[in-house]
Structure 1
Amino acid sequence: MTLFAGDQDLLGRIYEAAFVPDLWPSVLEELCQVSGGIGAGLFTADPNGMRWVATDFMNQLLADFAELGQPDIDVRTLIGGRLDYPGFMREQDFLGDIDFSELPLYRDFLWPRGVGFCVGTPIRVPSGDHLVYSIEGRREDGPFSQAVVARLDALRPHLARAAVLSGRFAVEQAQVATETLSLIGLPAAVLSFGNRLMAVNALFEPLIPRIVEDRQTRLTFRDAGADALLDIALSSQNASTVRSIALRPGPEEAPMIAHLVPVCREARHLFAFASWIMIMTRATNAKIPSADLIQGLFDLTPAEARVARGVAEGRTPQDLATGAGLSPATVRTQLKAVFAKTGASRQAELVRLLSGLSI
């Protein structure tokens, strides 16, 4: 499809953004100018949350929507994404004769913010995730015209290719990072937005599928108890702290610990399209870490962290209660919470887990 006059320069900037993520907001701003929209974004949405790069207006709009915690009301992405149509679409093109005033997305979220119409297109990238280019228009301006859709369709092959290149470049960066961790003896993997394996190093490969399975829905652990904790960790919104999960591979293998490091803030510039880095360590007889470290890794309260460390040092709940001036029942309640958050079911397992935290 032939580019419209004046879009050749934009084409060059689209391909630059494929390898320099910081350029995406300015490219998306130009798409707004091309279409007459108020904001534009490139985002991915799945049950584990939203991630995006966008213009200022769209950035705030997407942040507000994510804060709502109601992804199911986004009928545009849910229905439009299933169509896998290789072009830009307006909501009236695929929502049919639906009365928009009956849809919470429009009535309660978009219209109060002055937004009423969009044009967008889904893109699949090598990580297996679906991305969406979306341009929002003012409600007072009415639907985007067919002429705008035609102009964007001329750019779409290049926008899609840039997204794919970004995804491939991200996979290569992730592979380099995992191989670097191999140099210090750490099995490591990078997870995609959809929480599936994006890249693994040679030390991690023997764990698949004996300990770790890369399923269609997400990465899973063969250990059911550990997998339940993994599901909670991966489903958490706005995760910003390391999560550690104990695994019991089998009767003839030493316990392992999976450390989940979230890809957030500045790390997203290096690990585009990634959600977590998983580092595996084996339980050792290392020095018991501080209560502060234990608290941060397992999202414990200060009191729970002190109990966990005390048990790991060999003290009984009665000893801990006496030392802290608490009742044994209170300490037992705190210890029960520690077991729930760490995945340990007995004090001996907790000791092995905390002894293996040193990387």
Structure 2
Amino acid sequence: MVTIEAFSRLVSGVYAAALTPQLWGPAVRDIHREMGGTVGTLGMAPDGTSSIIGDTTLPADALASYAQHYGRLDHVLTNVMKGPVGAVRTGSELVAPRRHSEFYSCWLRPNDMGDGLMVRLTGPPENYFFIVGAPPRTEFFDTPDRVKLMSGLIAHLQQALRTQDAVAPLPAGDGEPAGVLDVIRHGVILVGGDHLVINLNAAAERICRAGDGLCMRSGRFAAMNTAAEQELHGAIRNALTDGGSRVRRGRSLSCRRPSGVRPYVIHVLPYPRRDTDVHLGGQMAVVLIIDPENEPEPATELLQRLYHLTRSEAEIALQVMRGVDLKQTSEELSLSLSTVRTHLQHVFDKTDTHRQAELVRVLIALCP
């Protein structure tokens, strides 16, 4: 079973890669090694043909042969991309039944990918996917612990990809990272030495002003609880210098809130300096603050447009996302229970989902 420290390290790596795409390789490598796999791949298939974003161990000739020939025979990825967003698929389900195929014999097995775990992270237009591959063994790769770890990483990978896509169109060398990151709903703070705040986005400013566990003191980012403050300062120190060892590391932590609502989740990451950042001084850290209480839901109009839902179907989909049961939904929308069930089945069909949990994952992934 993965430890909390190991999981925090994996998550920190994922969010660091969201801001610096060159770090996807190390982040993906860390994940597949923690799972005991031999290959990790983050990719996208926008038009039915895949491309690799962060691959760790596949040699160049394997990638070339896939692009030239074997990609057309890839029944595994085809089935993953036809399935629901956020569902973990397994080698025992998708690979084992077709071990006599050319794709398995000539490409998967020679590249140590005769087993593994796969997940479709997003829908169109990007169609991101993530795969951890492993060689075929006596026991299948899909142990409960590995599936649980993969499932736990999905939401973080999805959020990191949304962050990356929001930042990607921005011009390189922008000296105001917080200004550009105002498009991100999570709080983002750029912190320098002595925990001094260099800049922050609008969401972070709202969080600090609320004074519900986090705040600003004399221009420094701080927590209101002593224990949380010590942990936060230690994480920032590690991201800046790690005690002078020159190995800068990220860390994740939580911060309880006096209001009693769910704690903030905080990821502290080293900020990768560029030559154009010399005017900002020494080393810096990026603090990402996630408020579990501030998870916006997609508008009914967006659901209608993306999945061709009717107004009633979209409203029922949002009720499911809020955790409202079908009986209460029928009362609130003045519809019979049988009508609600019929509409929900239409929602499943149109969103290519089969259970309410799958539907919730799809709806959460749509939040900008």
TM tier, smaller = 0.3 to 0.5
TM norm structure 2: 0.41
Larger Rg: 1
